Amino acid sequence: MLTIKSLSPRQLFWCRVIVFVLALLPFLRLVYAVYQDALGANPLEFITRNTGDWALYFLCISLAITPLRKILEWHWLIRLRRMLGLYAFFYASLHFLTFLWFDHFFDLSDMWLDVVKRPFITVGFVAFVLLLPLALTSNQWMIRQLGGKQWQLLHRLVYLIAPLGVLHYFWMKAGKNLLLQPLLFAVLVGGLLGVRLYWRLQSRMKR
């Protein structure tokens, strides 16, 4: 039987290369489609939605690493988590940049009015701002500077960021009764956070 509970350094290297390329594909596809003028009648709407979707997908994938490690005992998965988290940040940044550039043409005061006036944008903006410290501390040097405990505490912010991201999506769709996709994200994020809570309560009971 094939065992993938542990990978050799070489296997792990290739695994990371593959994940890196796969995670970049949505971006490459977008660039290619822009170049080919294949994004339909409203390309900017397409880019906004697409980058937002992928930011949420990568948030969910990053959050799935720990439960998967626990269940499958593939402990090497942890070596992919930083990259996946940074990809979530990458797509969220593209999403934010699209908003700042094409909706507001880098007019910061204009953008700020939008952020404070509209709850769904406020929530999305807060989620993005909270992602910044996580992205900035995603390297060995910062982990050493902060110390493992502090670093871990800081990175638990993702437990707040993911629900905020889902809420942002939910609110964006709310007026149109098209709630299937945001509901799926809500169930997914709810499950990923719920299973953590469950394990924590369980370990507390054992003590």
Question: Which one-letter amino acid corresponds to residue 187?
Answer: V
Residue 184 belongs to what H/E stretch?
A: helix 180-206
To other proteins, the closest distance from the beta carbon of 185 in angstroms equals 17
Q: Which residues contact 52 (CB under 8 A, 6 or more apart)?
A: 91, 95, 169
Choose which of 120, 130, 143, 186 interacts with other proteins (CB under 8 A): 120
Query: Can residue 9 be called a binding residue for other proteins (CB under 8 A)?
Result: no
Choose which of 35, 175, 203, 207 interacts with other proteins (CB under 8 A): 175
To other proteins, the closest distance from the beta carbon of 114 in angstroms equals 7
Contacts of other proteins in 59-78 (CB under 8 A): none
Query: Can residue 129 be called a binding residue for other proteins (CB under 8 A)?
Result: no
Query: Can residue 41 be called a binding residue for other proteins (CB under 8 A)?
Result: yes
The backbone torsions φ and ψ at residue 91, rounded to the nearest 5 degrees and listed phi first, read -70, -35
Query: Can residue 207 be called a binding residue for other proteins (CB under 8 A)?
Result: no
To other proteins, the closest distance from the beta carbon of 177 in angstroms equals 5
CA distance 5 to 74: 5
To other proteins, the closest distance from the beta carbon of 119 in angstroms equals 8
Q: Are 188 and 180 in contact (CB under 8 A)?
A: no
The backbone torsions φ and ψ at residue 109, rounded to the nearest 5 degrees and listed phi first, read -70, -35
Query: Can residue 53 be called a binding residue for other proteins (CB under 8 A)?
Result: no
Question: Which one-letter amino acid corresponds to residue 110?
Answer: D
Choose which of 114, 122, 191, 196 interacts with other proteins (CB under 8 A): 114
The site string for other proteins over 132-171 (x = CB under 8 A, - otherwise) reads: ---------------------------------------x
Q: Are 82 and 61 in contact (CB under 8 A)?
A: no
Instruction: Work out the angle between the directed axes of helices 148-155 and 119-136 (0-180°, nearest 10).
Output: 160
Instruction: Work out the angle between the directed axes of helices 43-72 and 180-206 (0-180°, nearest 10).
Output: 20
Nearer of residues 40 and 148 to other proteins, judged by Cβ: 40
| Chain positions contacting other proteins, by CB under 8 A | 40-45, 102-103, 105, 114, 117-118, 120, 171-172, 174-178
